[in-house]
């Protein structure tokens, strides 16, 4: 880690890389690998010693650098040191403003943005709190939020919008956990208490499946799709053949394809499981991709902007233009899985791995490290034959 001694400046606070950077007198700027920046102060409380009999040196969080300026951080650090010299633990005797729930939540959101693979998910994270939590407890100091305040947010939506309420609870818990870690509140997280005590009524979650086409209807649909013009049709055909997720297909770039080994490698950063996924390239996939190479785009399925992929809605809108209202793009993964179950003679893990799913427990995966590419190549070849209408593939 980098380490800077001496006085910091406003510019350094904005530009310093990961590490703990000292300002002097126990004040540090901590920059996480994600880019999140926060202040801490290290003090030694007079007369207090740890279990080893040494002076009790403790780090206290002062807040995020995006909210707390360098000047304010220095003032708060000075107050902490003043209390420590008097033998008072700043944790219990500090006299400083406690941030409100919304302030902490927005800071947590900023700090976690780099960790989300999907920017849309990051926006949903803060939007749910803005919609349901901020209007009721947003301006309350985080130190004053307890079980009644948690119930005030969750009770009105717990039954009617249960899945949303569950996510709101998770995000509230995360905010209050961070507030406690930074010294703004004490005691057990009230969200945890409410959920463990089952104060709210039990709601049986309804599993919502993506609408899928019957696997028997896929060849006729694929024939209809092959007559459509445009890049969205090509992308949807490739999605059907590979059984991959929408984002995995649309964000594909040519450098991921090895046409000598006939393998498309989706990097771990773009998969839902966070693990690299290799997709065997069949003859039908190659025939589909070959003409697209002449476009000389960085993206395999280029949208209206040069070197930019199609939008996430492009394939779904194509289905609607084809008057196929009841089917989702994701549902073609289910069609493939049903076909493999009913017509295939391979173990289920072959089909599951073909979909990029994790198979077995962590212990099983630790020993079974092969992705069974050879066996999956045979299965995907038969699926491609089936999609284009070869009866021998059934």
- For residue 224, give both structure tokens: 């209809």
CATH of span 10-93: 3.30.160.390
**For 108-122, 170-184, 297-311, which range has the lowest pLDDT when averaged over its residues?**
108-122
Distance CA 310, CA 232 (A): 7
Averaged pLDDT, 201-230: 81
Whether pLDDT at 3 is above 60: no
Give the percent of the chain with pLDDT over 70. 86
Tell me what pLDDT residue 110 has.
82
Distance CA 165, CA 39 (A): 32
Whether pLDDT at 213 is above 80: yes
212 or 173: which leads in pLDDT = 173
The string over 80-93, giving b where at least 16 C-beta atoms fall within 10 Å of a residue's C-beta and e elsewhere, is bbebbeeebbbeee
Q: How much of the chain is in helix, strand and coil states, percent to nearest 5?
A: 50, 15, 35
- Second-level CATH architecture of 215-393: Orthogonal Bundle (1.10)
The beta strand positions in the chain, using DSSP E, are 19-24, 27-31, 37-49, 55-64, 257-258, 263-266, 277-280
- Cβ distance 39 to 62 under 8 Å? yes
Give the percent of the chain with pLDDT over 90. 40
Q: Cβ neighbours of residue 208 under 8 Å, at least 6 residues apart? A: none
- Give per-residue pLDDT as tens, 117-130: 666 778 889 999 99
Phi, psi of 74 (to 5 degrees): -65, -40
Distance CA 278, CA 116 (A): 23
Whether pLDDT at 203 is above 50: yes
Contacts 24+ apart (CB under 8 A), 18-21: none
pLDDT confidence tier of residue 367, bands split at 50, 70 and 90: very low
- Give per-residue pLDDT as tens, 246-268: 999 999 999 999 999 999 999 98
Domain layout of the chain by residue ranges:
10-93, 101-196, 215-393
- Cβ distance 133 to 142 under 8 Å? no
Q: What is the average pLDDT value for the chain, to the nearest integer?
A: 84
Whether pLDDT at 223 is above 90: yes
Tell me what pLDDT residue 393 has.
43
241 or 84: which leads in pLDDT = 241
pLDDT confidence tier of residue 52, bands split at 50, 70 and 90: low
Q: Report the CATH fold assignment for 101-196.
A: DNA polymerase; domain 1 (1.10.150)
Whether pLDDT at 75 is above 50: yes
Tell me what pLDDT residue 206 has.
55
Tell me what pLDDT residue 61 has.
83
β-pairing verdict for 55-64 and 257-258? unpaired
């Amino acid at each position: 880690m980098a380490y800077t001694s001496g006085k910091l400046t406003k510019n350094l606070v904005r530009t310093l890389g990961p590490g703990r950077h000292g300002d002097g007198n126990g004040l540090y700027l901590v920059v996480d690998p994600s880019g999140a920046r926060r202040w801490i102060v290290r003090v030694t409380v007079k007369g207090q010693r740890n279990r080893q009999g040494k002076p009790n040196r403790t780090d206290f969080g002062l807040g995020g650098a995006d909210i707390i300026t360098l000047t304010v951080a220095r003032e708060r650090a000075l107050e902490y040191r003043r209390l420590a010299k008097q033998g008072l633990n700043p944790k219990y005797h500090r006299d400083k403003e406690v941030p409100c729930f919304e302030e902490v939540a927005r800071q947590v959101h900023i700090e976690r943005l780099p960790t989300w693979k999907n920017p849309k998910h990051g926006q949903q994270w803060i939007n749910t709190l803005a919609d349901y939590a901020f209007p009721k407890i947003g301006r309350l100091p985080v130190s004053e939020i307890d079980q009644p305040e948690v119930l005030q947010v969750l009770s009105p939506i717990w039954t009617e919008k249960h899945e949303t309420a569950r996510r709101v609870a998770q995000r509230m818990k995360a905010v209050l956990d961070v507030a406690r870690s930074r010294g703004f509140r004490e005691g057990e997280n009230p969200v945890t208490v409410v959920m463990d005590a089952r104060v709210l009524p039990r709601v049986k979650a309804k599993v919502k499946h993506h609408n899928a086409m019957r696997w028997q209807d896929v060849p006729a649909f694929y024939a209809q799709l092959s007559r459509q013009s445009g890049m969205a049709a090509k992308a949807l055909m490739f999605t059907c053949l590979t059984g991959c997720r929408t984002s995995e297909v649309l964000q594909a770039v040519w450098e991921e394809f090895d046409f000598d080994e006939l393998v498309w490698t989706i990097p771990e950063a773009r998969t839902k499981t966070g693990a690299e996924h290799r997709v065997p390239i069949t003859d039908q996939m190659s025939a589909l991709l070959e003409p697209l190479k002449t476009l000389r785009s960085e993206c395999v399925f280029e949208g209206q902007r040069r070197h930019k992929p199609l939008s996430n809605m492009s394939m779904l809108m194509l289905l609607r233009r084809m008057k196929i209202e009841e089917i989702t793009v994701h549902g073609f993964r289910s069609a493939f899985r049903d076909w493999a179950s009913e017509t295939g003679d391979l173990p289920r893990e072959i089909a599951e791995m073909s979909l990029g799913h994790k198979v077995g427990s962590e212990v099983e995966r630790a020993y079974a490290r092969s992705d069974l590419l050879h066996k999956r190549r045979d299965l995907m070849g038969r699926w491609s034959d089936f999609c284009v209408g070869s009866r021998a593939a059934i």
